[in-house]
Amino acid sequence: MNAKVEQASGTNAADIAKLALAAVILVGGIAGFYYFSGAAQVLRVLGLLVAVVAAAFVGSQTGPGRTLRFFLRESSIELRKVVWPTREETIRTTGVIVVVVIIISLILGLIDLILKVVVMDWLLKL
């Protein structure tokens, strides 16, 4: 884990303007996708992808965008440290969970049946 102290930073006017520009680019790309419905599907999707990439680039230049990029970079580093279970461990663990769920459901069903008999047959017949 990275031991850097994060500074609380507010979003300034330039960041807000950049985020608004990114939103306009994204909405423009979506609007263009539907406006040019007569054009080839490949061109429409390509235009939409260009707009999404451009909006992501503009958004990544803001304070929140830099924070997100830092978080994603640190997350990928942490994911490389994870020791994933083997297939056999996963199957064994899943089997144990299934057995425990069945046992607990039978116990809860039995408790429900006992309470039903007690309430319906004994208490309500008085």
Report the pLDDT value the prediction gives residue 5, as an integer from 0 to 100: 47
Q: Are residues 68 and 91 in the same domain?
A: no
SS3 38: coil
Bigger pLDDT: 38 vs 98: 98
Q: Considering only CA atoms, which of 19, 116, 32 is closest in space to residue 68?
A: 19
Q: Are residues 61 and 95 in the same domain?
A: no
Domains: count for the chain: 2
Report the pLDDT value the prediction gives residue 92, as an integer from 0 to 100: 97
Q: Are residues 16 and 60 in the same domain?
A: yes
Report the pLDDT value the prediction gives residue 97, as an integer from 0 to 100: 98
Task: Give yes or no for residue 1 having a pLDDT over 60.
Answer: no
* Upper half-sphere CA count for residue 28 (Cβ side, 13 Å): 12
Q: Are residues 72 and 45 in the same domain?
A: yes
CA angle 74, 77, 81 (to 5 degrees): 135
Report the pLDDT value the prediction gives residue 23, as an integer from 0 to 100: 94
Specify the pTM.
Answer: 0.56
- Full domain range(s) for residue 100: 85-126
